[in-house]
Chain A
Amino acid sequence: MDLKKYIQEHKNEFDDKKLSTDFDAVFKTALKNKLHQKPTKNKVVYLKYIALAACLILGIFIGVKIINQQEIKKELMANLSADSAGVRLEGIYSFSDDYTKEDTQIIKTLIKILHTDSNGNVKIATIDALLKFPTNELIRKNLIIALEKETLPLVQIKLITSVSFLREKRAQKSLKKIMENKQTFPIVKSNAALAMNNLKQ
Chain B
Amino acid sequence: MNEQKLIQDCKNNVYSAQMQVYNLYKNRLYNSSFRILKNREDAQDAVQESFIKGFEKIHQIKEEKHLGSWLNRIVINYSLDVLRKRKKIVWLEETYLLETEIEEVVNEDDITFSVDKIKACIHQLKEKYRIVLVLYLIENYTHKEIGHLLKINESTVRNQYRRGKNMLLEQLNKNH
Select which of A1, A2, A19, A32 is within 8 A of B27 by beta carbon: A19
What residue in chain A is nearest B56 (Cβ atoms)? Answer: A35
CA distance A6 to B168 in the complex (A): 14
Closest Cβ of chain B: how far from A78's Cβ, in Å? 68
A18 to chain B, nearest CB (A): 5
Question: Does B165 have its Cβ within 8 Å of any Cβ on chain A?
Answer: yes
Per-residue interface assignment for chain A, residues 1 to 14, with 1 indicating a CB less than 8 Å from any chain B CB and 0 otherwise: 11110111011011
User: What's the nearest-Cβ distance from chain B to residue A147, in Å?
Assistant: 81
Residues of A within 8 A of B31 (CB): 14-17
Residue B8 interfacial (CB < 8 Å): no
Contact B115 A13 (CB under 8 A): yes
Known: A2-B108, A3-B113. A18 touches B22 (CB 8 A): no
Q: Given A16-B31, A19-B44, A26-B48, verify A1-B18 contact (CB < 8 Å).
A: no
Q: Given the complex, which residues of B lie within 8 Å of A17, measured CB to CB? A: 27, 30-31, 34
User: Chain A's nearest CB lies how many Å from the CB of B147?
Assistant: 18
Q: A3-B113, A19-B27 are in contact. Are A35 and B48 (CB under 8 A)?
A: no
Q: Which residues of A contact B169 (CB under 8 A)?
A: 3
Instruction: Establish whether residues B52 and A30, one from each chain, have CB atoms under 8 Å apart when the complex forms.
Output: yes
Does A27 touch B at the CB level, under 8 Å?
Answer: yes
Contact code string B46-79 (vs A, CB < 8 Å = 1, else 0): 0110011001100000000000000000000000
Measured CB to CB, the closest approach of chain B to A14, in angstroms, equals: 6
Q: How far, in whole Å, are A18 and B48 apart by their CA atoms in the complex?
A: 14
Interface size, B (range): 20 to 34
Given contacts A31-B19, A31-B51, A36-B15, contact A10 B115 (CB under 8 A): yes
Say yes or no: B137 contacts A7, CB within 8 Å.
yes
User: Inside 8 A of B102's CB, which chain A residues have their CB?
Assistant: none
Q: How many A-B residue pairs have CB under 8 A?
A: 71
Per the 8 Å Cβ criterion, residues 27-44 of A in contact with B are 27-28, 30-32, 34-36
Contact at A4–B137, with CB atoms within 8 Å? yes
Known: A3-B169, A11-B138, A27-B48. A19 touches B19 (CB 8 A): no
Residue ID in chain A nearest B53 by CB atoms: A34
Task: Verify B30–A19 contact, CB threshold 8 A.
Answer: yes
| B contact residues vs A (CB 8 Å cutoff) | 13, 15, 18-19, 22, 26-28, 30-32, 34, 44, 47-48, 51-52, 55-56, 108-109, 113, 115, 118-119, 136-138, 140, 165, 168-169
Apart from A13-B115, A19-B30, A31-B55, what are 18 other A-B pairs with CB-CB below 8 Å?
A: A1-B108, A6-B118, A7-B138, A15-B28, A15-B31, A17-B27, A17-B31, A18-B27, A18-B30, A19-B27, A19-B47, A23-B47, A26-B44, A27-B47, A31-B52, A32-B15, A35-B13, A36-B13
List, sorted by A's number, 28 A–B pairs whose CB atoms are closer than 8 Å.
A1-B108, A1-B109, A2-B108, A3-B108, A3-B113, A3-B118, A3-B168, A7-B137, A8-B140, A14-B138, A15-B28, A15-B32, A16-B31, A17-B27, A18-B27, A19-B27, A19-B47, A26-B48, A27-B22, A31-B15, A31-B18, A31-B22, A31-B51, A31-B55, A32-B15, A35-B13, A35-B52, A35-B56
The 4 A-B residue pairs with the shortest CB-CB distance in the complex, in nearest-first order:
A15-B31, A13-B115, A6-B113, A7-B137
Residues of A within 8 A of B (CB): 1-4, 6-8, 10-11, 13-19, 23-24, 26-28, 30-32, 34-36
